[in-house]
Structure 1
Amino acid sequence: MEIDKAITQSDDERLKTKYKNAIFVIRRALALYSIEEVAFSFNGGKDSTVLLHLLRAGHYLHQKGESHTNQGGPIDHVEFPMRTIYFETASTFTEINSFTYETASTYGLQMDIIRLDFKSGLEALLKANPVKAIFLGVRIGDPTAVGQEQFSPSSPGWPPFMRVNPILDWSYRDVWAFLLTSKVQYCSLYDQGYTSIGSIHDTVPNDLLCTRNTKDGKISFKPAYLLPDGRLERAGRARKSSAPASAKSTAVSNGDAKAVDINHNILFTASVIAVGDEFLSGTVEDKLGASLCKKLHTLGWAVSQISIVRNDIDSVAEEVERRKGTSDMVFIYGAVGPLHSDVTVAGVAKAFGVRTMAQLPEGITELLHHEKLLMPLVKAAQPLSKLRLEFPDLYIGCYRESRDGPLIVSLQGKDQARTEAAAEALRKKLESGVLH
């Protein structure tokens, strides 16, 4: 098999190790599931192109056995029997579409074309043709990779299937080492300076690959595999501005004059989420948001949106879910700590379908009796949690107006007597002099 032969005969020991491990994952999956029970999600990008050829090699080795390795000649046109899913949208690059369909023809891919969003399309597809496992080209560093392993069940709320991630631990360098060593075709956009391809609305050539001809001043871009630092592969996923034409300037790219956005040089975009009922009620002014935006701007980041959500796990999870696919980074603050109202950690975990870690590690009990910390959060957590159980009809909030300011406990309810009773109960739970 030509892929297996090219990699195993390579002098790149790291690549051979990555290849061997990925093939093991693929063969393990094919041992657990029949070929009719698995599918491959292909999007025409570099990662899924790598996965396609790994699956071809893995299926070949699984069928023929190790004893047949390297004995076959080139079989570029042998059909690939695994069901392939392709999500096509109006915002897909024409080059990606062309490459995908050409690849399907070359390797005989049995493609299911879906023109819905990923979740809705997957639900409809699996309802009509159930599969038990889907191979994905997810790598560490991808927005969707958080909490995933090489075999990970689908997230809550999604159709049930096993996510199989053979290249989860591959780097940008590994991807290009495989493509160039195997000498397989990849989408032409990667030769035009694109390093990470999303939709036509959020993808531009990576400025780190930009070059200017000293004689005529024309701008061009080096191919993606020449990016010196693979950690910056998503630097080309800048948000294109929706500003009117008057806000655009004319530049030269690849020798052609065209309008480009004034934000073309912005490398990353961010969303900011503030969590706190106090912000929404106007009790506390959100000063951190403005400070964070100013700091990000000085670093060359563009903040696309700031939102404020309630102290509620589902509210946090839903907002993180909305934002994580539209920005390079999501910054979230507020409601982070051990109090009953601190729901941010649990909300983020729910959005990514992972477990939360312990909020208070062992050995932290000395903070409860620290002389200089009159009212640390960990000291208030247990009494407030008990108070919440005793007075479920009251809203119990906890916040600071400034970083070094006192901890303020807010008790709100319709019955004044109940509110006063809760305040008195809290005084009894805390040390004398702590509560003012």
Structure 2
Amino acid sequence: MNVVAGISVLLGTFIILFSELLLSIDIWAFLLTCKVRYCSLYDQGYTSIGSIHDTVPNALLGVNDSDNSKEKFRPAYLLPDGRLERAGRAKKCSPPVSGCFSSISNGLKSVDLHKNGMLKALVIAVGDEILHEILYRRYPFFLSYCCNRIGLHLRFGSIADQLGPSLCRKLCSIGWTVSQIAVVRNDVDSVAEEVERRKSENDMVFIYGGVGPLHSDVTVAGVAKAFGVRVAPDEEFEEYLRHLISDKCTGDRNEMAQLPEGITELLHHEKLPVPLIKCQNVIILSATNIIELDREWDCLIELTRSSGFLALVGAFVSKHLRTTLSDVETAQPLSKLGLDFPDLSIGCYRESRYGSLVISFRGKDEARVEAAAEALRKKFHPGAFNEIN
């Protein structure tokens, strides 16, 4: 045991001395003289290798070549000052939402959502304590199915979630369609798995809950893992936090200022105590109640109008009909109607098992919505449907 400990001490001493030696000489002179193999990216103008999201050729090594439109760069060892190597790291800001190819299908015919002016959003709630009250009260068996089928984890159900339904209404008000509401547990892997699987299927992902300094606040780390990047200190965000909770901070490092490296954009607004966090097409909301959500949403919409973070498309037009007809009587006509009006969302639900059936039509074109409702009326006797305001 003593021999192993002695070898470890000697090895550690050697590493320290060797590191000090390298620091005392020109590292590139050492690599080139000794012909040590290194990453080939350094020969293409890269000077600071990070993640795929924040690594770019160093502009200080650029070569002006008027005969060639493709930009060229000199090798990293020609950088005149080694202190400038971090110029090869830059945050790549994601463009405004535009061209994800999304589609919906009823099993018979797929519809390009963007062709119909629709954009898809996913809403994710993070928290073991969260219960989606609407699903639980109205569709307990469907909720149980979802938990098993698509990996939603509702462990305790001791808190009713009000933010999810409110956020869905806000998204619909600006013409977006919500593809799904997901609830995941306070676990980095659970958050990462859901975000990674869904971010490419949706134009935007909104995630709330699990933001803060507690052991269960894992949302930011989960988003970082979903994009394959690490969390790193963000000086700008830390400055905001310092003004808010400086007297409550302990230790040398503020864990709340650790953000996904290279993919984070801070969305500033004077009415927000701290900026909103945007990681490509994922927006992390820190709201914990309806009032805070309203404030964050209003600020986001204002920022959108000036900077285009979200696409504001035409609002939905809807019509609702109530009938006492049975499911069997309406099933086939509604299926046929879905084929005739693929650009509309046609849904139905019962207020109780033996109560009336409510049929809803939703789309961007008011004339199409009216036509679909009228087509359904014509399939049955007069007075079979009553319109609901």
What TM-score comes out, normalization by structure 2 length?
0.33
Q: Which has the higher contact order (CA 8 A, sep 6+)?
A: 2
